[in-house]
């Protein structure tokens, strides 16, 4: 597991500096992209970036329509799915661009950094369990708040319908939701670092290079797929608890 | 609890909420507005295309009816003109026939008159000649009265013969 420097290392509320930092970078990148897209917004002849964003818009909109029954639910889920897909796509890819390692010369106690140890300075923000769990819990809350618009339906769905399973489901869903993404991204980046540590043949031949290229391609694929799966599950979990007169339940 | 970091969790949550707000404001809203605008625009275009197409169809129908009307008018006019021309020709021919008949009749009458005149002439001549001949033959045997009676007799008989 890549080691990271921490802020407030000795407190219970310590913050992973790499995760936090690259989360901010993701935010800035997405913001810039959105600004560029908005400045070139053209109704008649969409080009490049706008086409991609329109595709994402329709894609997440379609997912929402498929999984969420009520119109109110759709109004909540559609922008959420759009933002999460874009955001996760950016953050999942971040760790694949470069690997920056840092071996501090002396101990920095406040950052939890020990001299002579390797610290990774560039990882995807999604490579931290707490970050993905934050999203999963947020989605869980949104799903339940949305479901509570119809309290009796919500109560039946969680506590009565398929009695013990409903409660277990509600605990396991957010847990697996967050851990799935975290595990996939972490595995990708851990293996990249491991491949980079393969010793060079005769001191200069990078024997690990073919493996690295293959693994990078695979990780890129996994990053994209995981962003999609996470978004899909967002619409599914919220849609599952979305009870309205027009609702159709998706298993 | 090595892996659980509430601080990171809270930071991520806040970070995501801020990013959500930004993307929603900067990308999602304009995009959805634009796409809605495009949808209505396309709908309008389709509607107007449909109405104009229907209008064009109606115009074509009108034009076709008009053309048909004009065609039948022309046909009618041609027919009536032809009929009139036929009538006129018939009239002309009839008139010519009449004229010819009249001329023929006139000619015939003139010939008749001439013939009658010629016959009258001949009659007078013949009567005179007969009288002279008879005078020569019956010199001194016929009185003036008898001669006159004979001439009259002859004239009458000749006239009967001629007529």
pLDDT computed for residue B142 by the predictor: 65
Q: Do A54 and B35 touch (CB under 8 A)?
A: yes
Probe site for chain A from B19, B36, B37, B38 (most A CB atoms < 10 A): B19
Nearest-by-CA chain A residue for B16 = A135
| Interchain CB contact of B59 with A (< 8 Å) | no
- The number of CA neighbours under 13 Å toward the Cβ of B135 is 12
Note whether B8 contacts A14, CB cutoff 8 Å: yes
**Structure confidence at residue B150 (pLDDT):** 77
- Report the alpha-carbon distance of residue B11 to residue A140 in Å, rounded: 18
Helices assigned H by DSSP within A106-249: 129-147, 151-155, 163-196, 209-240
- Most distant CA pair in chain B, distance: 200
- Identify whether the C-beta of residue A90 lies closer than 8 Å to the C-beta of residue A29: yes
Asked if B23 lies within 8 A of A34 by C-beta distance, the reply is: yes
Regions of chain A where pLDDT drops below 50:
247, 250-251
The ipTM assigned to this model is: 0.86
Measured between beta carbons, which residues in chain B are less than 8 angstroms from residue A26?
19
As a whole number of angstroms, the distance between CA A33 and CA B62 comes to: 56
d(CA A42, CA A134): 36
CA–CA gap between residue B125 and residue B156 (Å, rounded) = 14
What does the block give as tokens for A88? 């996760």
Classify residue A13 by its DSSP letter: T
Residues in chain B with pLDDT values less than 70: 1-2, 140-142, 162-163
CA distance A127 to chain B (A): 12
- Which of A29, A43, A136 would you mutate first to test chain B, the one with the most B CBs within 10 A? A43
Contact A38 B15 (CB under 8 A): no
pLDDT of residue A250: 47
Chain A nearest C-alpha distance from B78 (Å): 58
pLDDT in the model for residue A104: 80
CA distances from B8 to A13, A122, B14 (A): 7, 16, 10
- What span, in angstroms and rounded, lies between the C-alpha atoms of A140 and A177? 10
The verdict on A135 touching B (C-beta cutoff 8 Å) is yes
* Chain B residues within an 8 Å CB radius of A15: 5, 7-8, 11
Q: Which residue of A has its CA nearest to B25?
A: A34
Q: Are B22 and A30 an interchain contact pair (Cβ–Cβ within 8 Å)?
A: yes
Per-residue pLDDT tens digits for B107-145: 999 999 999 999 889 888 888 888 888 778 777 666 778
Q: Using an 8 Å CB-CB cutoff, list chain B residues near A41.
A: 30-31, 34
B22 contacts in A (CB within 8 Å)? 27, 30-31, 34
Separation of alpha carbons A239 and A68, rounded Å: 4
Minimum distance, in Å, between the CA of residue A247 and any CA atom of chain B: 24
Q: How many CA atoms lie within 13 A of B109 on its CB side?
A: 6
Window B:27-56, CB contacts with A under 8 Å? 27-28, 30-32, 34-35, 37-38, 41
**Which of helix, strand or coil describes residue A113?**
strand
A80 → chain B, closest CA residue: B20
Record the tokens describing residue B68, joined without a space: 């048909």
Query: Most distant CA pair in chain A: distance in Å?
Result: 71
In angstroms, what CA-CA distances link B106 with A43, B49, B120? Answer: 101, 84, 21
Q: Is the pTM of this model over 0.90?
A: no
HSE at residue B56, side-chain half, CA atoms within 13 A, is: 6
3-state secondary structure B22-39: HHHHHHHHHHHHHHHHHH
Backbone angles phi, psi at A6, to 5 degrees: -125, 150
Which of A13, A51, A74, A141 to mutate to test binding with chain B, by most B CBs within 10 Å of its CB?
A13
Question: Which tens digit of pLDDT belongs to each residue from A188-207?
Answer: 888 888 888 888 777 777 78
CB A89 within 8 A of CB A30: no
């Amino acid at each position: 597991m890549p080691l990271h420097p921490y802020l407030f290392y000795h407190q219970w509320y310590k913050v992973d500096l790499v995760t936090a930092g690259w989360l901010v970078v993701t935010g800035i990148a997405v913001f810039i992209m959105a600004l560029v897209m908005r400045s070139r917004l053209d109704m008649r002849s969409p080009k490049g970036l706008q086409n991609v964003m329109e595709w994402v818009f329709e894609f997440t909109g379609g997912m929402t329509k498929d999984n969420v029954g009520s119109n109110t639910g759709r109004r909540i889920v559609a922008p959420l799915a759009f933002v999460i897909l874009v955001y996760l796509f950016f953050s999942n890819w971040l760790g694949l661009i470069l690997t920056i390692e840092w071996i501090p010369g002396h101990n920095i106690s406040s950052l939890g950094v020990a001299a002579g140890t390797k610290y990774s300075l560039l990882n995807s923000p999604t490579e931290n369990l707490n970050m993905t769990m934050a999203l999963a819990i947020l989605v869980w809350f949104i799903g339940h708040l949305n479901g509570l618009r119809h309290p009796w339906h919500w109560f039946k769905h969680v506590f009565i319908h398929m009695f013990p399973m409903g409660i277990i489901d509600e605990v396991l869903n957010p847990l697996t939701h967050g851990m799935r993404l975290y595990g996939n991204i972490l595995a990708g980046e851990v293996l990249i670092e491991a491949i980079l540590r393969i010793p060079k043949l005769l001191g200069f031949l990078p024997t690990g290079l073919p493996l690295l290229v293959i693994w990078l391609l695979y990780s890129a694929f996994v990053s994209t797929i995981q962003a999609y799966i996470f978004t899909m599950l967002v619409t599914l979990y919220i849609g599952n608890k979305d009870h309205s007169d027009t609702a159709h339940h998706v298993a | 609890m090595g892996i659980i970091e509430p601080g990171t969790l809270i930071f991520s949550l806040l970070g995501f909420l801020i990013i959500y707000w930004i993307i929603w404001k900067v990308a999602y809203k304009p995009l959805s507005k634009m796409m809605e605008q495009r949808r209505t625009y396309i709908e309008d275009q389709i509607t107007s295309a449909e109405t104009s197409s229907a209008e064009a169809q109606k115009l074509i129908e009108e034009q076709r009816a008009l053309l048909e009307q004009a065609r039948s008018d022309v046909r009618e006019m041609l027919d009536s003109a032809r009929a009139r021309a036929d009538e006129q020709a018939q009239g002309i021919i009839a008139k010519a026939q009449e004229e010819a008949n009249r001329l023929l009749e006139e000619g015939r009458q003139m010939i008749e008159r001439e013939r009658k005149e010629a016959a009258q002439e001949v009659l007078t001549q013949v009567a005179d000649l007969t009288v002279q001949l008879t005078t020569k033959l019956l010199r001194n045997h016929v009185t003036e009265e008898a001669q006159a009676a004979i001439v009259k007799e002859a004239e009458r008989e000749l006239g009967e013969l001629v007529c």
